[in-house]
Amino acid sequence: MAWLIATARNCALDRLRRRRTLAAKLPLLEEQRVEMIELDDSAFPDERLELLFTCCHPALATEAQVALTLRAVGGLSTEEIAEAFIVSEETMKRRLSRARVKIRQAGIPFEVPAAENLPDRLSAVLAVVYLIYNEGYAGRVDLATEALRIGRLLESLMPDEAEVHALLALMLIQNSRSGARYAGGELVLLAEQDRSSWNAGELREGREELGRAVALMGGNVEGVYLLQASIAAIQAEQPIDWGRIAHLYSELLALTGSPVVALNRAVAFAEAGEPAKALELVERLPLEGYRYLHSTRAELLRRLQRTDEAADAYRAALSLASSDPERRFLQRRLSEI
Amino acid sequence: MKYALLVYSLPGSHEELPESERNAVYGEYMALGGDPRCTESAQLQPTETATAIRVKDGQRLITDGPFAETKEVFGGYYVFDVANLDEAIAVAERVPAARLGGSVEVRPLVEAPS
For residues A295 and A314, what is the distance between their CA atoms, to the nearest angstrom?
6
Q: List the single best residue of B80, B84, B103 to mutate versus A (max A Cβ within 10 A).
A: B84
Q: Which residues of chain A have pLDDT under 70?
A: 1-46, 136-141
* Interface with B, mutate which of A108, A110, A118, A120 (most B CBs under 10 A): A108
Question: How would residue B87 be classed by pLDDT, with cut points 50, 70 and 90?
Answer: very high
B84 touches chain A (CB under 8 A): yes
What are the tens digits of pLDDT across the range A78-97?
Answer: 999 999 888 999 999 999 99
Residues of A in contact with B85 (CB under 8 A): 57, 59, 106-109
Maximum alpha-carbon separation in chain B: 51
For residue A106, the chain B residues in CB contact (below 8 A) are: 85, 107-108
Show residues of chain B in contact with A59, CB under 8 Å. Answer: 85, 89
The pLDDT assigned to A310 comes to: 94
**Interface ipTM:** 0.87
For the whole prediction, is pTM greater than 0.90? no
d(CA A165, CA A264): 23
| CB–CB contact A107 B89 (8 Å) | no
Q: Three-class SS of residue B92?
A: helix
pLDDT, residue A92, reads 96
Task: Work out the number of other CB atoms within 10 angstroms of the CB of residue A112.
Answer: 27
Residue A337 has what pLDDT?
83
Rounded Cα distance between A133 and A70, Å, is 11
- pLDDT of A291: 86
Which of B3, B80, B81, B85 is the best substitution to test chain A (most A C-beta atoms within 10 A)? B85
* Per-residue pLDDT at A36: 39
pLDDT computed for residue A30 by the predictor: 56
d(CA A94, CA A248): 42
pLDDT tens profile B27-83: 999 999 999 999 999 999 988 899 999 999 999 999 998 877 788 999 999 999 999
